[in-house]
Structure 1
């Protein structure tokens, strides 16, 4: 007697597609390629996040270092006026002059504590990055290109120029 019931596993069910090794190999290769792309994209995203974090830290640091730039820039004419007053009172002495000197020292100290540096290039080589030449003067005792007179001191805030020094340079 022959039975109509097939033995288990003898015949593939109709709903399972016939998969050959080439198809499986192609699908495996596609999945590997997709995985590699996803890993590469994840690395790029991680690098972008790291760069963004570094930019944010740098921007916050810059904002902190230069937060007082406007205020200190507006105080420069006050410093100039105090220095001009002291220069005018050079031959005098007394409490008024002492008060001017003390006020100037205190303002300069506050500026220095906040990153302000005074540029007084008298006798130094002219540097167009930090100095602005307003004229040249024949100076037999000075090397050509040397600052022989400072009309107005310059100032820098944390190594960034706020105002160049106005100078006279020894002629060639």
Structure 2
């Protein structure tokens, strides 16, 4: 029994650290205000980024929406160009009026297609004499030419086209091989 009396006489200990501290309501509101302000600023920044990204995507869509159509039109334009190239010069000179009209019609159609492509931002890629760029050119063959710097485009087999900064079709080219690795920038005076 003495154990029972001993346990009843003991007073429970109070843990002061476990008691909740008194929170100042003003400080609590300031902390909540700061948190909400931070969340609002982050949301505003996120919305601004979303707006800019959407504007960029819309601009890209406007610029590049016709890429597939333009690529298909290049095939038709190439066919017209090839038709004119295979026609011998003497056949043009000695052609009757009907054939001359047909040739002129094909030439006008090809020029108009080129004009319309350019109007919509499709431009030919300059390749002849340029340094070979695998992003804009497709090497078809190498030409041994010690007079040209190695890696220079010396012949264009098929013109390449780009819309804006995107390549629709790379230029098919022949590239110099065997020349100096870099074009000389300055003439060296060896008489000194």
Q: Shorter-chain-normalised TM-score: which range?
A: 0.7 to 0.9
CA contact (8 A) 2:157 2:172 kept: yes
2:22 maps to 23
Deviations 1:56-79 (A, max 9, x none): 111111111112111111111111
CA contact (8 A) 2:124 2:161 kept: yes
The structural deviation recorded for 1:23 is: 3.4
- Does residue 64 of the first structure (1) align with residue 65 of the second (2)? no
**Runs of 5+ unmatched residues, structure 2:** 1-20, 93-99, 179-192
Alignment of 1:41-80 (within 5 A): 41-80=39-78
Q: TM-score by structure 2 length?
A: 0.72
CA contact (8 A) 1:144 1:171 kept: yes
CA contact (8 A) 1:125 1:147 kept: yes
The structural deviation recorded for 1:120 is: 4.2
Alignment of 1:74-89 (within 5 A): 74-89=72-87
Alignment of 1:1-172 (within 5 A): 23=22, 26-89=24-87, 91=89, 92-93=91-92, 94-172=100-178
Deviations 1:125-163 (A, max 9, x none): 211110011111102442221111111111111121111
Deviates more, 1:161-170 or 1:118-127: 118-127
> Aligned pairs, how many?
150
Counterpart CA distance in 2 for 1:110 and 1:85 is 20
CA contact (8 A) 2:155 2:175 kept: yes
Q: TM-score by structure 1 length?
A: 0.80
Counterpart CA distance in 1 for 2:144 and 2:170 is 22
Deviating runs (4+, > 3 A) in structure 1?
none
